[in-house]
Each structure stands twice: as structure tokens, then as C-alpha cells.
Amino acid sequence: MTITIPSVHYLAILPVLFYFGAALALLLATALSRNKVTLRVGTATTVLASIAALVANWFQWRCVARTGASTTVAHAIVLDDFAVIASAVIALSVAMTALVAHDWAARERVTGVEFHVLALASSAGALLMTQANDLIVIFLGIEILSIGLYVLVAFDRHRTTSFEAALKYFLLGGFASAIFIYGAALVYGATGSTNLTAVSYFLGTNVLLRPALLYAGGALLLVGFAFKVAAVPFHLWSPDVYEGAPTPVTGLMAAIVKVGAFAALVRVLISALGTQLDTWRPILWALVVLSTVVGATAALVQRNAKRLLAYSSINHAGFIMLGVWAGTVRGTAATLFYLMTYAPTVVASFAIVTLVGGPGDEHHAIERYRGLARRQPWLGGALAVLLLSQLGAPLTTGFYAKFTVLAAVVDAGGGALALIALLSAAVAAFFYLRWAMTLYADDDLEATRVEVPRLTGSVIALGVALTLVFGVWPGPLATLAQHATVLFTP
């Protein structure tokens, strides 16, 4: 018996290797000389690994432009523009989070580089998910992403809530992963492969006499994804975990888990199960309606900034899923565009929440923001812009993101769905605006000023700049997103 070793196109997996390599190097360095590896080294390593990944993304983009999309490692990993863009978004979010976490760690007196080791390893999982072309690789990506995050959520030793959130996230995350992999097993049984291309080919060339196995498998995969992106009715963990986790970790989770999980969801639904569009659409329809409506209405009664943002992110998950529902090239491009704009916005938002939370990371009542923009016009103004972007106000990226998704859905014949989502956005506008008004309330002018460390400040500035520049001038990003999906659809 001979074993053939699959050929590996190293450029395709270079960003993942950078992240894993950086995590291992940091871990080894700490083990060898405990005291010499400071927090500063950890932050620098994470940022450098992210920059290296972005540079690798640039070469990947050129490679795809030259030779077209390709698969490698026995067709388990795919290199196409969709993956490249999604990886770049993740790398940017990780770099931004690392800088925020640096100031947070200094404030909370967290020493050591474990935070960065875990963040790097988790991000490698997210990157793997964007490139996965096999259900098992998606599963491994989810697990690598989640296992690091479970520990990161528990990272704040001073707050009991942090541990509780970690336990909740772990138990429900493990449950969701088990459901996901059972779905993969059933799809394997129904189609004879876990490879997305092979599944797609099988379904395109065969008529299933008894499709129940495939349907059950697909449904379980969807449930697994819905847990990961916190779509209603699988969202119950998310407000608690967002609240309990250290705030920079919450920002990281909100950004990279969504990008990774949605990239994988698009691949599974459009690329592998594209022929079953009529079957999965109704399920997605229900998830979208529930997520947008419940996310928006539940956020109305929240008095805690982190919980409010958690429900807002559930609402956003519904919107991103809208693009997937469309099932068209346009819908996929809209999904990607939404992820590109949402990730920096949400990381910057949580950066501000980290600062306002103050030492101990526990003052997150909305009341704390009263008059913030009057005391500190720049910080308050930045938060106002980020909130308006999440609301979908014109001249911010959020507007164009929502607009493209809705246009794609109407185009695909989902007028009613678009209307429901739009109404939920109107409800959501209420709590975003209420928060933004609180910022400009004119009482409480004597409250303590919020310290803005340099690194966190620059991350917030970057997030706001991206939001405004591409809000006014969305052309380049939209072109990138469209370009990325034209090549991707098989």
C-alpha cells in the first residue's frame, strides 16, 4: 500500500502559518525565559504577525489574479479572493485588538504574553475557516478558534463573571460543535465525502432518492453555525459571554468569530449545497427574521453597554445572513462587504467601551456615557460615529453595507424579508440614537475624564477613519467584494 502525500501550496496557508508560528514562538520564548518576554514583546509579535499575514494576503491576491482560484492540501484548503479578503479582515481586527489589549493589560496589571498566544492561536483558527474547503477543516477551524476564546473569556481573574461567562461559552460552544460535526457525519453518509467541492459535484450529478440524511445533516450544520454567529434562537449565550468577557476579548470575538463563521457558512451553503437552495432558504429565512427582530427589540431594554452591543451584534448577524439567504453572487458580495465594514467598526466600538469601563473593567452602564461627548469631544464623537455606522446612517460604511444586502435580497425575490429586516433596523435606530443622545447630554460635566492611552486611541481613530472614508467613498471596498465573489462561485 502506498500513501500519497498531498502537495502543499505554501503561499495559500502562509497567513495561518504566521499566526501559529508566532503563537508557538511566543510560548516557547516564555517557557525558556519567563521574565524577559514582556507584554510589549507579545503585543509587538501579534501586530507583526498580522502585518505579515496582510502582506501574504497581498501576494495571495496577486497569485489568484494570475492563476485563478485553486485548492491545495488534497483539496481541503482553497485559495481564492473571497478567502484572501476575509483573512485580511481578520488580520486587521486582530492587530487592532492586540493594541487595545495592550493598554487594557497595562491598566489591569495583567503581565505575561499568554493573552497574545491565545489570541494568535484563535485567529489562526478563524483564518483556517475562511479557507476551508472541507467540513472537517471547518470543524477544526471552529475548534481552534473556540478553544482559545474559551480561555480568553476567562482571562480576567478579578471578576467572577469572567469565569462564569467562560463556563457558559464553553458548555454551549462544545454542544454546538458536537451538533456541527454530527451534521458533517450525516452529510458524509449522504454524499460520500466531506469535501465541499465533492459534495457539490455529487449533488449536481446524482438525484437523491432518500434525501432525508442530507437534509438532517445540513440542518445540523446550520444549527452549529447559528450557535457560533449567535443567531436567534441559538443566541442565549451571547449577551452573557459578551458581558462577562474582558472587553477587548469581546471585541475580538464579535469581529473574528463572525467573519470566520460566515465565510465558512457561505462556502457550505453556496458552494457545497448550492443545488439545495430551495431547501435551506426557508430555514435561513426564519433565522434572519428572528435574529433581526429579537436582536433589535431585546436591545431596547438593555442598560449595559456590552449587553446592548451583544444584542446589536445579533441584529447584525441577521443582516449578514440576509446576504447568504439571497444565494446569488450579489448576495455573497454583500455579505463580504458587510463583514469588511462591520469588523473594524465593532472592534473600535469595544475599544471605547474598554476605556469607559475603567479600572476593573466593570463600569459598563449606559449612564456612564452621559455627557461623554461634551467632556471629551473626540472620544464621544468617535463613539457617536461608530454607533451611527452600526445604525446604518448615510455617510458611514454601515449605510452602504445594509443597503447592498437589502438590494441583493430584493433582487433575489425576498421583498418581504428585506422589509422585516428594514423595520428591525428602524427599531435598532432607536437604541443607537438614544445612546448617542446620552453622549451629548449636558449634565454631569464634572464626572471623571476617561484616560485615552495612545495605542487604543490610534485604534479608535483608525476604526472611525475607515468607517467615514469608506462610508463616503465605498467604491473601492465594494469593487474588492464583488471581485472576490465572482471568482469564488464554482
Partner 1 sequence: MNVPAAWYLILAAVLFGIGAFGVLTRRSALIILMCVELMLNAVNLTFVTFSRTLSDISGQAIVFFVMVVAAAEVTIGLGIVVAVFRRRSSTSVDELAELKG
Among 47, 186, 263, 428, binds partner 1 (CB under 8 A): 186
Residues 227-286 that bind partner 1 (CB under 8 A): 236-237, 239-240, 243-244
Q: What is the CA radius of gyration of the chain?
A: 21
Q: What is the x/- site pattern for partner 1, positions 411-450, by CB under 8 A?
A: ----------------------------------------
At closest approach, how far in Å is the CB of 437 from partner 1?
A: 26
Alpha helices in 277-328 (DSSP H): 277-300, 305-326
Contact between 163 and partner 1 by CB under 8 A: the answer reads yes
Contact between 156 and partner 1 by CB under 8 A: the answer reads no
Contact between 121 and partner 1 by CB under 8 A: the answer reads no
Contact between 154 and partner 1 by CB under 8 A: the answer reads yes
Q: Cell numbers for 113, please give them.
A: 504574553
Whether the Cβ atoms of residue 217 and residue 186 lie closer than 8 Å to each other: yes
Q: How many CB atoms lie within 10 A of CB 445?
A: 10
Which range touches partner 1 (CB under 8 A), out of 107-115, 170-178, 321-329, 419-427?
A: 170-178
Please say which residue, 238 or 335, places its beta carbon nearer to partner 1: 238
Please say which residue, 224 or 392, places its beta carbon nearer to partner 1: 224
381 exposed, middle or buried (CB, 10 Å; 0-12, 13-18, 19+)?
A: middle
- C-alpha distances (whole Å) from 91 to each of 94, 326, 431, 456 are 5, 27, 30, 17
Q: What is the x/- site pattern for partner 1, positions 128-147, by CB under 8 A?
A: --------x--xx--x---x
Contact between 193 and partner 1 by CB under 8 A: the answer reads yes
Give the chain's length.
Answer: 490
Plot region of 3 (φ>0 → left; ψ -120 to 50 → alpha; else → beta): beta
- C-alpha distances (whole Å) from 54 to each of 14, 118, 259, 459 are 10, 20, 16, 17
Please say which residue, 164 or 411, places its beta carbon nearer to partner 1: 164
Please say which residue, 175 or 201, places its beta carbon nearer to partner 1: 175
At closest approach, how far in Å is the CB of 305 from partner 1?
A: 15
Cα gap 417→151, rounded to integer Å? 38
Element (DSSP H or E) covering residue 481: helix 475-488
How many residues touch partner 1 (CB under 8 A)?
38
Which range touches partner 1 (CB under 8 A), out of 27-35, 160-168, 339-347, 472-480?
A: 160-168
Contact between 175 and partner 1 by CB under 8 A: the answer reads yes
At closest approach, how far in Å is the CB of 315 from partner 1?
A: 19
Partners of 78 in the beta sheet?
Answer: 71
Running DSSP on this structure, what letter comes out for residue 134?
B
Contact between 164 and partner 1 by CB under 8 A: the answer reads yes
Contact between 311 and partner 1 by CB under 8 A: the answer reads no
Among 166, 230, 268, 379, binds partner 1 (CB under 8 A): 166
Contact between 60 and partner 1 by CB under 8 A: the answer reads no
- Listing DSSP states for 173-240 in one string gives HHHHHHHHHHHHHHHHHHHS--BHHHHHHHHHH---S-THHHHHHHHHHHHHHHHHHT-TTS-THHHH
Which residues lie near partner 1 (CB under 8 A)? Answer: 136, 139-140, 143, 147, 150-151, 154, 160-161, 163-168, 170-171, 174-175, 177-179, 181-182, 185-186, 188-189, 192-194, 236-237, 239-240, 243-244
